[in-house]
Structure 1
Amino acid sequence: MNLNDNRLIIKTLKSGDQKTFSLVYASYYKPLCLFCSSYVSPEEAEEIVQDLMMYVWEKRELLVEDMSLKSFLFTSVKNRALNVVTRVHITRHVYKEYQSQQLKASSALDSCYCTELFNAYMKALRELPKEQQEAYVMSRYKQLTHKEIADMLNVSIQTVNYRIGKALQFFRIRLKDFCP
């Protein structure tokens, strides 16, 4: 059968002739894939062409005998390829926008959380009994050893251990909502 006789090809396709479809498939598959791969990857091009050929076979009754089958196939492949490119582009754009929004929300949430935690910590520090507060500040902020703190406060090392331990216990209770 001659592929140049467009009317006959479409007429026999519409009638369900599998030999004609095989001829069309074999004749146009590689050129369509090559053309399509100028828009998308070769793997995607093959998938697009295969999908188009399946569509042609399944919807063969809708083919119009006056149309150019070759033009229809190449135009359809081009449109399908452009749809894939557009879909990929839009998906990437949406994903980048989503990531950006998540990062902004996360940063704002982290900042809010840190500020809230810091405020709760400072409030708890101010509420500590004077002796515990003094020992804790000397240990954590002035980075003195327990012996140095004991010498400065004229108390035993065990007393310093006790006061710092009580301060840490107080913080655990007061800041429990911020800890996992």
Structure 2
Amino acid sequence: MAAYTSRNTDEELYQLIQKGVEKAFDTFFLRHYPALCSYANQFVEREDAEEIAQEIMIWFWENRTMPVWETSLISYLFKAVKNRCITLINRNDLKQRILQTLYEGDDHLFDDPDFYVVEELSQKIQSALEALPSNYREVFEMNRFQKLTYKEIASQLNVSSKTVDYRIQQALKQLRIDLKDYLPLILFLY
């Protein structure tokens, strides 16, 4: 095992990161964060790109003891950034569809208290998604927003299809509980 220096290879840094060496993570972060930001910025605005890249790097640190990656670690991080960008785009698209449904020829809806219920619904959906455990939310968003199959998700996350199915079922179960008061409105809009 190599000792930490700022000249370590990514593989050496990863081995040190797995052991909790924060300086190795700092070096890895500084080495790859700008590229992840630039890549994310191809899909989303700069501010969102920076936030997504930072979230992925924090996730990487928090999950540093995960087993060896099926692809290279860098490829995995870029794929994770892309998936987060697509999820953000799809979330924004969902909000836009809700608003567009309201705006289409019904300007008087703003005077109607039901308009504010839909705005509240959008916020509740967002909050309910954010409240899910991260592994449930990730597979749910990949399936529902990115339209990936269970098999594709399993391949990307290096888990079994049954694990993906379980996580999506648990996410749906929790969302039904969290959004039970809004289910009739959700069904009406979609």
Q: 1:38 aligns with which of 34, 42, 45?
A: 42
Q: Counterpart of 1:93?
A: 97
Alpha carbons 1:32, 1:49 under 8 Å: kept = yes
Q: Counterpart of 2:186?
A: none
Q: Counterpart of 1:27?
A: 31
Aligned counterparts, 1:2-13, within 5 A: 2-4=8-10, 6=11, 8-13=12-17
Structure 1 residue 45: deviation in Å?
0.4
Give the 3 Å change call, closer, same or farther, for CA 10–67 of structure 1 in structure 2.
Answer: farther
Q: TM-score, normalised by structure 1?
A: 0.52
Alpha carbons 2:69, 2:76 under 8 Å: kept = no
Q: Counterpart of 1:159?
A: none
Give the 3 Å change call, closer, same or farther, for CA 67–18 of structure 1 in structure 2.
Answer: farther
Question: RMSD value over aligned CA atoms?
Answer: 2.4
CA distance in 1 between partners of 2:64 and 2:100 (Å) = 41
Runs (4+) of structure 1 exceeding 4 A deviation are 101-106
Unpaired runs of at least 5, structure 1: 107-180
Q: Counterpart of 1:176?
A: none
Aligned counterparts, 1:22-171, within 5 A: 22-64=26-68, 67-100=71-104, 103=107
CA distance in 1 between partners of 2:70 and 2:8 (Å) = 16
Q: Counterpart of 1:18?
A: 22
Structure 1 residue 95: deviation in Å?
1.3
CA distance in 2 between partners of 1:12 and 1:65 (Å) = 16
Matched position secondary structure for 1:62 = coil
Structure 1 residue 100: deviation in Å?
3.1
Q: TM-score, normalised by structure 2?
A: 0.49
CA distance in 1 between partners of 2:77 and 2:65 (Å) = 16
CA distance in 2 between partners of 1:32 and 1:94 (Å) = 31
Give 1 or 2: higher helix fraction: 1
Higher-Rg structure is 1
Give the 3 Å change call, closer, same or farther, for CA 65–96 of structure 1 in structure 2.
Answer: closer
Alpha carbons 2:102, 2:109 under 8 Å: kept = no
Structure 1 residue 66: deviation in Å?
5.9
Per-residue deviation, residues 39-81 of structure 1 (Å, max 9, x unmatched): 0011110000111111111111115266411101111111111
Structure 1 residue 19: deviation in Å?
1.1
Q: Which has the higher contact order (CA 8 A, sep 6+)?
A: 1
Give the 3 Å change call, closer, same or farther, for CA 101–10 of structure 1 in structure 2.
Answer: farther
